[in-house]
Structure 1
Amino acid sequence: MYVGLDIGTTSIKVIVAEYLKGQLNVIGVGNERSAGVSRGVIVDIDQASEAIGKAVKAAEEKASVQIHDVVVGISANMLKIEPVTGTIAIGDAAREITEQDVQDVASAAIIQNLPPEREIVNLVADEFVVDGFDGIKDPRSMVGVRLEMHGMLFSGPKTIVHNAKKAAEQAGLNVELAVVSPIAQGKSILSDGEQDFGTIIMDLGGGQSTAAVIHDHRLKYADVDPEGGDYITKDISVVLNTSIENAEKLKRNYGYADATQASEENEFPVDVIGQSQPTTISEQYLAEIIEARLMQIFDKLRAKLATTNAPGLPGGIVLTGGVAALPGIADLVKAEFDTAVRVSIPDQMGLRHPSFTQALSLVDYRGQMSEVDLLVQSAVSGSGQLAGKVQVPADPTQVQTEEKDSRHRPAKQVAREPKQKKNRGQGLRDFFSNFFD
C-alpha cells in the first residue's frame, strides 16, 4: 500500500492505492485547494502543510486507513541531470555481492561536491559491472572482486526540495520517497515502446508547464515554463472584465483550446464588473482568448525542446495535467508541433481526468520499483528504510510495517507507505539512440 502526494499550484492531491502483482487499485483519494504554492513551488510552508493535512484527512476517511508515509513529487524547476559512476572493491578474494555492496557502490557514485544551493533528489542505476562484465541489472549473489555502477543523478534547487519535504513533514507525514515528477510520469503513462524510442511529456498544470523528454527508458531532459492554467484564467478575467472565480468557471464550462472547434453561435452570459447586466459572448471568442495563451506557452516549450532534437522523436507528445482536459488541445498541439499527440487520462474510476495523472504516477512508480532500485535510492537518503515492506491485515486500519529499522515508526499504522509496442527495427533504434549522446 502506497500514498502519492502531488503538491500542485491549483490543488493538492493525495492518492492511496494497493499495488499487488503489478495491479494498481486505488482505495482512497483526497483533493484540496492549494495554498502557499506559486508556479509549482511552495512559498508558504505553513499554508501548504495545512492544505496537505486536509487532503490527507479526506483520503484517510475514504480509504479507512491511517496515512503515515508518502511519495512526494518534486517539480522539474532548474533540474540538473548528470551521469555518475561508482566503483568499489568487493575484497581481495572473490565473494558473493550483497545488498550492502549495492548500497556502497551507489553511495560511491554520489560522492561529489554539489553546490550548496542544490540537493540530490533521485539516483537511478542504468547498469552494474562485475569484474568487467557489463549490462547487469541485479548484481546480488554474483561473485566478483570489483563492482561498478553507472547511473543518472537528478538534483534540484535545495529550496524547492526542502520546502516540499518540510511541508509534508509539518503535516505529520514521513517522506518515504521524493521523485522528480517527469521520472514517475514516464514510467507510469508511457508504453515500453514510447519510453524506448523517445517521447515528449507535456505536463500542463495550473502554475507552470513542463516539457520532459523520455528516451531509452530514461529522463534525458526537462524544462519548465512558468505559465499554466492560472494564466489562462487571468487572461479571461482581464479581457472580459470579470472576476477570477467567474473566469475559471467559464474556462471549465465553455472553454476550448482550439478556436476552430468552438461555435460562434453558442453564446452564454458573463458577469462584468461595474455592470448590473451580464454581457453575452460566444464560445469562439472565449476560445480565442484561451488559444492565444496556449500558443505562447507552446512556442516557448518548442524553442527549448528544439535544442535537443526531441520534437522529431517517434513517440510524439503525450499531454497531461489539468489544462490537458480542454477540448481540442490535442489537435492544437498536433498542428503546432507537427507530430503525433495524445492526452493521458487515468483509467481508474473517479480519477478520469488528466489532473490526477501526476499523483497516480507517484504511486505507480513506487510500486514498480525493484529491490535494487530501492537499494540504490536509499543511498541518497543514507538509510535502508526504502527496502521495507508493508503487510495489510484483515482490518485495514491496523497495519504493521516490517522494515530493517523499525524504531522510527509505531508498530500499528498504515501506509502512507506511502503496454507494449512492436520494435520498429534495430536500424531505426540505433539511429535514435544517438540523439542525446
Structure 2
Amino acid sequence: MDDSMIIVSLDIGTTAMKVVVASVSKGQISVIGIGSSHAQGMNRGVIVDIDKASEAIREAVKKAASQSNTEVHDVVVSLPANGVQIFPCQGAIAINDQTKEIDNDDVQQVMSAALVKTLPAEQEYVALIPNDFSVDGFKNIKDPRGMIGSRLEFNGILYSLPKSIVHNVFKAVERAGLHVVHEVLAPAALSQVALNDGEKNFGAIIIDLGGGQSTASVIHDRKLKFSTVDTEGGNLVVHDISVVLNTTLNNAAKLQRYYGTVDTKSASNVEEFPVEVVGQDEPQAVTSEYLSEIIAARMQQIFSRLQKKLDSVKAFELPGGVIITGGLAEMDGVDRLAQKIFGVKVKVFVPKQMGLRHPAFTESLGLVSYAQSLNELDILAHEVIRQRKSTNYSDDTHFISQNENQTSKSYDSSSKTTSTPMGEKFKNFWKKFFD
C-alpha cells in the first residue's frame, strides 16, 4: 500500500479561514498548497452566520487547491474550545466466546459502553481518547486486539461541545462543498506541533492568541486536560488602538502589525511614526512607547484573567511552562509580559515549514500532524463518537460542567504528590481526575 497521502486542514478562525494542503509520507509533512481568506460570519471563535462562513471557506479552499493543483473534497477541521466539557469514562463488556480473539467489534463495543454519561441537552460528544484497556483484570494494555479473555474493560477521556457550535461548523463545511473526515479540538491540534515530547508528557500550558478570543489549555500525558476561553483577542487590541488614536480599524491593524510591541520598556519615546487621524488633514506623530502602552494594557488584562483560571487547577506547577502561539503571538514582547504575569518560563512557537512561518498557522499545521498521527484505535474511537452523536443517554452520572466563562473544570485540583521523584510527581499530576 502506498504510504503517502494528502491531508487538507481547515482552520476556521475569527479573522481568517486558513486551508493547508499537505503531502504526508513516512511521517514527513510537506506543504504543497495554502489558502487564506478574510473570515465572515464569525464572532469570537464561533460561526454565527453559516452562509457567510461557508463562502469564506470556499474562497480559502479554492486558493489552496489552485496552488497545490489538487482537488479538495475532504478536510480535517478544527473545533473551538468554547464550552468544552472534559470527563473520564470507563466501560466493560463480557466476551461470551472465550476462545475468540478480541477484535475491532469488541473494542468498539467496550468504547460504546463507556458512553453512558448524561449530557445536557445542548451538548454533544466530539471526541473519545483511549487511555488503556484491561483483559480479565490485566491492566494497562494499550491494544487488546488479538488477545483472548472473558472480560474487556476500557478507560478513556470524553470531550463534548455545545451542539450549536458543532452543528454550525459541519453545516458551513458542508455548504462549502466539503466533507469532514475528522474533527479535532483546536488545543489538541496546537499541542501536536507546538509542544515537544517532554512538554506533552509531563505537562505544559499552551495559549492561543487569536483574533477573536484567547484560549489557554493544559496538556498532560499527551491529552487535553483543561481549557479556558477568554473572549478577548487581537481584534480588541486593534480596536483599542483605533479608539485611542482616533484612526480607522484598517490603520490601527497596520500600526499593530508594523510597529506594535508589548514591551513598554524597550519601546522608544523618541521614535515616531505618522498616524492618519479621522477629521484631520495632516497625519499626527505617535511614539512607539505610546502605542506600546495601548497594546500592553489590553494584553495584561487578557493574561491576568487567564492566569486566574490556570491557577485554579495549579497548572503553573507543571514543568513545561507556557507556550504561546496564534496570530497575536508575533508581537514583540508577548513572551516577556506573559512571563512577568505567570511567573514561569514562557516561549513563543512559530512553525518552521516553508509558507507557514507565522504563529497564525500553528493550528493549520497541527491539524495535519494530528490527522497523520492517528492510529487504528483512535479511528475506531472516532467512529464510535460519530455513531453515537445523535443518541440520547439516560444514565445519571457526573460530568465536568462549564461555568459562565466557558471554562472546563476538573474534579479536585488540590492534590499533588510531594514525596515522589520529580518525574513521577508530574506524571501523576491529574491522577485523581482521570484514573
- TM above 0.5, yes or no, is yes
Alignment of 1:224-263 (within 5 A): 224-263=229-268
Q: Distance in 2 between matches of 1:37 and 1:190?
A: 28
Determine if the alignment matches structure 1 residue 94 to structure 2 residue 99: yes
Matched position secondary structure for 1:184: helix
> Is the contact made by 1:93 and 1:145 (CA closer than 8 Å) also made in structure 2?
yes
- Equivalent residue for 1:310, pick from 315, 319, 323: 315
Structure 2 counterpart of 1:360: 365
Q: Distance in 2 between matches of 1:109 and 1:20?
A: 34
Determine if the alignment matches structure 1 residue 38 to structure 2 residue 32: no
Structure 2 counterpart of 1:134: 139
Aligned letter for 2:175?
Answer: Q
- Equivalent residue for 1:341, pick from 346, 370, 379: 346
Structure 2 counterpart of 1:106: 111
Structure 1 counterpart of 2:331: 326
Aligned residues: CA RMSD: 1.3
Shift of 1:434: 4.2
- Equivalent residue for 1:429, pick from 418, 423, 429: 423
Determine if the alignment matches structure 1 residue 201 to structure 2 residue 206: yes
Matched position secondary structure for 2:153: strand
Structure 2 counterpart of 1:180: 185
Determine if the alignment matches structure 1 residue 26 to structure 2 residue 20: no
How far does the alpha carbon of each residue in 1:363-388 deviate from its partner, in whole angstroms, 9 at most, with x for none?
Answer: 100100111111111100129xxxxx
Aligned letter for 1:430?
Answer: E
Aligned letter for 1:126?
Answer: N
> Is the contact made by 2:14 and 2:211 (CA closer than 8 Å) also made in structure 1?
yes
Q: Distance in 1 between matches of 2:277 and 2:194?
A: 41
Alignment of 1:390-405 (within 5 A): none
Matched position secondary structure for 1:431: helix
Determine if the alignment matches structure 1 residue 125 to structure 2 residue 119: no
Aligned sequence identity (%)? 51
For structure 2, the 5+ residue unaligned runs are 1-5, 389-418
Structure 1 counterpart of 2:215: 210
Matched position secondary structure for 1:261: coil
Aligned letter for 1:247?
Answer: A
Shift of 1:21: 1.2
> Is the contact made by 1:309 and 1:435 (CA closer than 8 Å) also made in structure 2?
no
How far does the alpha carbon of each residue in 1:211-263 deviate from its partner, in whole angstroms, 9 at most, with x for none?
Answer: 00011222110000000000000000000000001000000010001111212
How far does the alpha carbon of each residue in 1:15-44 deviate from its partner, in whole angstroms, 9 at most, with x for none?
Answer: 111221111111111111100001001000
How far does the alpha carbon of each residue in 1:160-188 deviate from its partner, in whole angstroms, 9 at most, with x for none?
Answer: 11111110011011111111111122222
Q: Detail structure 1 runs of 4+ shifted over 6 Å in the superposition.
A: none
Determine if the alignment matches structure 1 residue 376 to structure 2 residue 370: no
Determine if the alignment matches structure 1 residue 298 to structure 2 residue 312: no
Determine if the alignment matches structure 1 residue 275 to structure 2 residue 269: no
Matched position secondary structure for 1:95: coil
Q: Distance in 1 between matches of 2:420 and 2:19?
A: 41
How far does the alpha carbon of each residue in 1:139-198 deviate from its partner, in whole angstroms, 9 at most, with x for none?
Answer: 111112221110000001111111111100110111111111111222222111101111
For structure 1, the 5+ residue unaligned runs are 384-424
